[in-house]
């Protein structure tokens, strides 16, 4: 499985999840540069780190940063306490992560969440034009690679 297939799978789940408006894959600064987006939104940082490539088993571990964004406008701040807004976004994120986990277990997809019992999330508030609340996770995903070894043809002297 390669990064393109992995992002496509994340997008499939994001489009199917009720309450989530979709997925955006890109650079972190792009969350503010695109005006035609709806929230809550899943943002996948394109700066993916490959950690732990195993040449023997042809597996690699992608470190994906998944961030769930929602608006938290000034009127929201007056009417909704931040804990309630956090709870709603946290539930949405957990539903997504459980669905992602269940798809690889049931569907036999070639990936696995590493250390799935210890996934760490971080809260942030962004006070820029969209006034966002965000919940970010670093998700280590082990994938079976597509590399075919031994395909070189060396010229004979």
CATH number of the domain residue 97 falls in: 3.30.2000
Instruction: Report the mean per-residue pLDDT for the chain.
Output: 84
SS3 state at 21: coil
Evaluate whether residue 149 is within a structural domain.
no
Tokens of 138: 């670093």
Evaluate whether residue 156 is within a structural domain.
no
Q: CA–CA separation, 122 vs 138, rounded Å?
A: 9
Evaluate whether residue 157 is within a structural domain.
no
Number of structural domains in the chain: 1
Predicted TM-score (pTM) of the model is 0.83
Q: CA–CA separation, 108 vs 131, rounded Å?
A: 39
Query: For 99-148, what is each residue's pLDDT tens digit?
Result: 988 887 665 667 788 888 888 888 887 766 668 889 999 999 988 777 66
What is the domain extent for residue 113?
A: 3-144
């Amino acid at each position: 499985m390669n990064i393109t297939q992995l992002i496509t799978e994340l997008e499939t789940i994001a489009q199917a999840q009720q309450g989530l408006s979709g997925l955006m894959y890109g650079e972190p600064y792009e969350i503010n540069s695109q005006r035609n987006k709806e929230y809550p939104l899943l943002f996948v940082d394109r700066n993916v780190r490959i950690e732990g490539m195993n040449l023997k088993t042809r597996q690699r571990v992608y470190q994906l940063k998944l961030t769930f964004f929602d608006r938290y406008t000034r009127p929201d701040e007056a009417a909704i306490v931040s804990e309630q807004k956090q709870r709603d976004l946290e539930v949405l994120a957990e539903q997504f992560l459980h669905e992602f986990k269940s798809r690889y277990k049931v569907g036999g997809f070639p990936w696995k969440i590493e250390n799935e019992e210890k996934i760490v999330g971080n809260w942030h508030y962004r006070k820029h034009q969209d006034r966002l609340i965000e919940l970010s996770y670093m998700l280590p995903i082990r994938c079976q690679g597509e590399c075919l070894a031994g395909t070189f043809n060396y010229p004979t002297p």
